[in-house]
């Protein structure tokens, strides 16, 4: 992200220091979800779009994700979930829904997530849709299971897509407290366990018409996809920058022996700079193109994996401690690679 944008942004460093840094180990262990921190981000006005252009709001969101990712990618991922849900509400043509939820989401009063991995894989021809929607008077009834949805809690909401029939899918906005919806917390992942991730089973959940984001999900996904992918890119950028900085810090250890390692900080920094420049080119172009973002997202994953691996090698056994920052970033980076669109998914759609 351009330095001038970063300066203008006034990223709340005090909030990162006081409300996130002290909790990173507990977040990594899975015993803490940074809900209060996320709500406070909403209170800063940085998520607001009313006085900003679409691209300005996107840039600010991306910069926030990156700054948070430098401290804790798990929490940056939670913010991504919220930004994805915000994107759905910003783009819906259901005006009453937008009028009601946009201020609540942008101020952090309500936190939200996204259950769109399966639909994204469905539209890329990877798998069938997991949710079904049966139209009824004044709404639809949803059934099926989503194996993992993050940034959830009793009072949170999330976006889902369900199949109505062979030619139609709809997109809904659902509260976690909906009758018939059961949530089972998932904590056994290699990393990102403090992401409030749940398996969500819909047993005939009624969703009223007021909560339908789109009657034509296939078309709606085309509108939101560039934002969905763009907001993910800084998850990797933050980790790469932190890995580079951590490599620099170890350079004097053991009489500077790390300089013999093949991957060095300056090479990673050049690769990172290249990605930032490509991002800037996309952001100043007239139309936001999802494929350009997807290419950049893929290259960011590969760079992230290289950076976290290099950081592990530079740190030696100190990095091999379970709770060390390099090992946390290594585990978080593998999640970034397996977050939809995953590496294999991106490689397929970019053929």
Binding interface with ligand FAD (CB under 6 A): 81, 113-117, 148-150, 189, 192, 195, 197, 335, 338-340, 342
CB nearer ligand FAD, residue 197 or residue 246: 197
Q: How far is the CB of 193 from ligand FAD (least distance, A)?
A: 7
Give the separation between CA 111 and CA 155, rounded to whole angstroms: 8
Residue whose structure tokens are 């090992």: 327
Q: How far is the CB of 58 from ligand FAD (least distance, A)?
A: 20
Give the separation between CA 134 and CA 308, rounded to whole angstroms: 46
Q: How far is the CB of 160 from ligand FAD (least distance, A)?
A: 9
CB 297 within 8 Å of CB 337? no
Enumerate residues 6+ apart whose C-beta is below 8 A from 44.
12, 15
CB nearer ligand FAD, residue 85 or residue 303: 85
Q: How far is the CB of 347 from ligand FAD (least distance, A)?
A: 12
**Rg, C-alpha atoms of the chain:** 20
Give the separation between CA 242 and CA 27, rounded to whole angstroms: 18
CB 142 within 8 Å of CB 161? no
Task: Give the residue among 72, 31, 34 at the shortest CA–CA distance from 151.
Answer: 34
Helix axes 325-338, 73-91, angle to 10 degrees: 30
Q: How far is the CB of 336 from ligand FAD (least distance, A)?
A: 10
CB nearer ligand FAD, residue 1 or residue 161: 161
CB nearer ligand FAD, residue 324 or residue 338: 338
CB 63 within 8 Å of CB 44? no
CB nearer ligand FAD, residue 202 or residue 246: 202
Q: How far is the CB of 318 from ligand FAD (least distance, A)?
A: 26
Give the separation between CA 219 and CA 290, rounded to whole angstroms: 14
Q: How far is the CB of 37 from ligand FAD (least distance, A)?
A: 18
Residue nearest to ligand FAD (CB): 117
- Per-residue DSSP letters for 240-295? HHHHHHHHHHTTTHHHHGGGGSSS-HHHHHHHHHHHHHHHHHHHHSSS--HHHHHH
Residue whose structure tokens are 């999640």: 335
CB nearer ligand FAD, residue 193 or residue 271: 193
CB nearer ligand FAD, residue 82 or residue 276: 82
Q: How far is the CB of 257 from ligand FAD (least distance, A)?
A: 36
CB nearer ligand FAD, residue 8 or residue 222: 222
């Amino acid at each position: 992200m351009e330095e001038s944008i970063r300066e203008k942004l006034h990223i709340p460093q005090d909030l990162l220091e006081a409300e996130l840094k002290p909790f990173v180990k507990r977040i990594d262990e899975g015993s803490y979800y940074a809900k209060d921190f996320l709500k406070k981000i909403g209170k800063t006005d940085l998520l607001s779009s009313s006085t900003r252009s679409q691209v300005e709001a996107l840039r600010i969101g991306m910069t926030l994700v990156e700054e948070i990712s430098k401290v804790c990618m798990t929490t940056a991922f939670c913010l991504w979930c919220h930004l994805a849900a915000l994107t759905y509400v910003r783009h819906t043509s259901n005006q009453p829904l937008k009028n009601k939820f946009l201020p609540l989401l942008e101020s952090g009063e309500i936190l939200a997530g996204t259950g769109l991995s399966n639909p994204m894989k469905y539209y890329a021809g990877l798998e069938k849709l997991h949710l079904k929607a049966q139209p009824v008077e004044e709404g639809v009834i949803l059934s099926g299971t989503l194996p993992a949805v993050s940034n959830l809690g009793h009072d949170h909401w999330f976006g889902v897509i369900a199949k109505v029939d062979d030619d139609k899918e709809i997109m809904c906005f659902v509260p976690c407290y909906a009758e018939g919806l059961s949530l089972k917390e998932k904590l056994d992942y290699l990393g990102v366990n403090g992401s409030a991730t749940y398996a969500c089973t819909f047993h005939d959940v009624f969703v009223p018409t007021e909560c339908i984001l789109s009657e034509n999900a296939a078309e709606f996904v085309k509108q939101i996809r560039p934002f969905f992918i763009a907001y993910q890119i800084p998850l990797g950028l933050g980790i790469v920058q932190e890995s580079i900085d951590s490599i620099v810090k170890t350079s004097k250890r053991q009489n500077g022996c790390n300089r013999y390692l093949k991957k060095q900080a300056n090479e990673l920094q050049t690769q990172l700079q290249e990605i930032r420049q490509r991002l800037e080119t996309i952001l100043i172009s007239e139309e936001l193109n999802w494929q350009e973002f997807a290419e950049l997202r893929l290259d960011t994953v590969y760079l992230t994996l290289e950076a976290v691996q290099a950081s592990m090698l530079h740190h030696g056994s100190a990095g091999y401690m379970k709770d060390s920052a390099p090992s946390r970033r290594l585990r978080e980076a593998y999640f970034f690679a397996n977050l939809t669109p995953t590496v294999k998914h991106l490689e397929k759609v970019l053929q």
